[in-house]
Structure 1
């Protein structure tokens, strides 16, 4: 525990990454949120995923918000395998020039103008691509993602070695592309049920080849992606990964499994791990223990298990934890366990909240009246807020229940026929 330092001072301390040697100016990570602000065309793949003025404007606002690092949401590597329409996309054949490249250069420029790092979260959805976009997805195994409130998913096929090689090349090309565009690093999305997570989790990975079975084998895809990325970028380019500290399902990742996964990943040259949890089927918020409620962070108890198993060499990846924070004290207390803290929805409510905290201006994160169990409402409203920021508007005030309930009412009404059709 840090002595004689205020919570704001602790959170304002820089953090240096062991592999790249880069330093973030404070302990805050603006956790990736799916923005849906890039171009989309139902037919022409080349017109999908280009940064728009609104997308650039959003990262300008966050770039001025005092964040140690801003992490973009779900940059995809396949134009026909995306988490949702409007995702940013860097196809494997994207050249280092032209409108797409200039758009990413503009994002990097505005996002780090005030000294924070800009890191792109790069992802492949695997089986979590809407069936309206892709009828033949790939995954670790042929296990279908059940329908959820925002859509249906086709049954995937198990990825072949050729598929895996294409995925690895896609991540490596995206990393090189992003560095040339001015980004400081990438974060592999290995959480929340996307493709890397589908390989990491025993629930979705039933393979019997070198990519399935043991923890080492299930981590192989992530390790091979990291190796390919490092071969394509400079030594000072940050490479992180977001993984689940726990899944709340039978055969899912446990904290003990996550600790073993971290050990398997430690030798792959990652600068940091961001610990999260849950997936499309089981959101973390529903499973909070009393100890978690008292400590605020959703995954802090699980992080302790993972941190205890780490080898202390001084070169081990730094660890961030994301989710559930309400107060500045809670954020600072988490630093007794981990190295940094991630904030997502609060950054949508106030893009400058990190800077305000570090400057000692506030004691709490922006309040919300959305119940924690109302996960869908919280995500939908956060996306609306970030889109308002992108358009130069004030984000919706979620401390007033009438406002978010009025916004959600027509959305819920429109979803009911879809839900009934899935029964």
Structure 2
């Protein structure tokens, strides 16, 4: 076994050095202003995370098209954005020798009804499993619209580089537009953008190549990709590995693995009662390590596994399998911004997280307590306060209802 630990630096192929193996995975901060520019709260939040010892922070998803928002307070980066505010955000996130990459996204059809009456997608297919009540049936994209969206991704990446972000990540997971193109369940096109996997992965390759053309060979470009959709007729593990190989062959700098969609939210740790979590997975704390071990035999591209990690021993064990190069953490950072420093100073450190609950399962589900509780923790940090691990889930629901009404509990991003 290799002797690797969380403190060890990692050098990407372009020469960029990440000071340790801890990677803050994207979380939806909901801290954009009315014009969808970053607020001062985002600056405060990412400065706090940088000081907490993280090697690489991934922003919450930044939308490439201001007519296609996944949530009301999404940040958007395009030619209408105030680049000065983005520069302040980037400067905050690069303190303490940390890196900050911007996650770029287009939601496709995963836009709540109250935000968009006519969403677009590869094909005019509704979300299912009850989600059709909160999301409108999309319209299939035209050829010219597909090229316009590809250009928007490239423009956003160019502007992110100009603002001082040290890399970008394409959001190709969790059922958003890139993921929709990859999935045969959601992509029923009969042109060059659909049908065979070669055609279905054309969109993500075109997005990547357009970004690369704008930012150059030395600027890191990564992707967040599903290991699978965990849906019948959807994106499979075998297909995912083929996409990983294609992206690796084209020079992608970093691949983060997650899984699931709104319809089957494995990325949230959701459990299928018919498919109990294996004991080995529970012990390793990682949702997708079995997949990562298979991928490592196929590519040498740096990899990140995200989902479930809570302790230094499990993280170091994962690194020493050589199946992953970085450990993705998220919710632990919302509860304790100093979590990275503590992990690196104590090889036995861990922080178990109890599932927040109001004590009423029906209310928890309706109010998405598992999401909004962590969101409120980020808002506390953004406001210059400490996170509160004892924060009442019931008070979070009440505060959210009072401040935003029931629309705040519409289906949200993960």
TM-score normalised over the length of structure 1: 0.86
CA distance in 2, matches of 1:148, 1:121: 28
* C-alpha contact (below 8 Å) 2:311/2:343 kept by paired residues: no
Shift of 1:254: 2.5
SS of structure 2 residue aligned to 1:11: coil
Partner SS for 2:97: coil
Q: Is the 8 A contact 1:215 1:264 kept in 2?
A: no
The Cα of 1:266 is off from its aligned counterpart by 1.4
Q: Which moved more, 1:272-281 or 1:402-411?
A: 402-411
The CA RMSD measured in Å over matched residues stands at: 2.5
Provide structure 1 residue ranges, at least 5 long, that are not aligned to the other structure. 41-47
- Out of 377, 380, 404, the residue aligned to residue 393 of structure 2 is 404
Does 2:329 align with 1:334? no
Deviation at residue 366 of structure 1 after TM alignment: 5.1
Report the equivalent of 1:112. 94
Classify the secondary structure of the residue corresponding to 2:251: coil
Q: Which residue of 1 aligns with 2:286?
A: 297
1:388 to 365, 380, 385: 380
Query: Shift of residue 124 of structure 1?
Result: 0.3
Report the CA distance shift for 1:409/1:133 in structure 2 as closer, same or farther (over 3 A): closer
Matched, 1:283 2:265: yes
In 1, distance between residues paired with 2:38 and 2:124? 33
Give SS of 1:66's match. coil
State the match for 1:268 in structure 2.
Answer: 250
Report the CA distance shift for 1:186/1:151 in structure 2 as closer, same or farther (over 3 A).
farther
User: 1:49 aligns to what?
Assistant: 36
Identify which of 185, 189, 197 aligns with 2:179. Answer: 197
Aligned to 2:333, the other structure's residue is in SS state: helix
Cα 1:261–1:167, aligned 2, differ >3 Å: closer, same or farther?
A: same
1:352 is matched with 338
Aligned pairs for 1:85-96 (under 5 A) are 85-91=72-78, 93-94=79-80
Which ranges of 4 or more aligned residues in structure 1 deviate by more than 4 Å? 147-151, 409-416
Deviation, 1:117, is 0.9
Distance apart, 1:415 and its partner CA? 5.8
Task: Assess if the C-alpha contact under 8 Å between 1:349 and 1:366 holds in 2.
Answer: no
**Structure 1 contact 82–124 (Cα < 8 Å) conserved:** yes
Change (3 A) 1:200 1:125: same
Q: Deviations along 1:218-245, whole A, 9 cap, x unmatched?
A: 1111111111111111332110000011
**TM superposition shift of 1:255:** 2.0
Decide which of 229, 241, 259 is 2:223's aligned counterpart.
241
Residue number in structure 1 paired with 2:32: 38
Structure 1 residue 249 displacement after superposition: 1.2
Over 3 Å counting, the alpha-carbon distance change for 1:14 and 1:110 in structure 2 is same
SS at match of 1:114: helix
Residues 152 and 369 of structure 1, relative CA distance in 2, 3 Å threshold: closer
1:71 paired with 2:66, answer no
Inter-CA distance 158–318: structure 2 relative to 1 (3 Å threshold): same
Q: Is the 8 A contact 1:105 1:181 kept in 2?
A: yes
- CA distance in 2: counterparts of 1:217 and 1:317, whole angstroms: 23
- 155-164 or 282-291: which moved more? 282-291
Unaligned runs of 5+ in 2: none
The match for 1:82 among 51, 69, 74 is 69
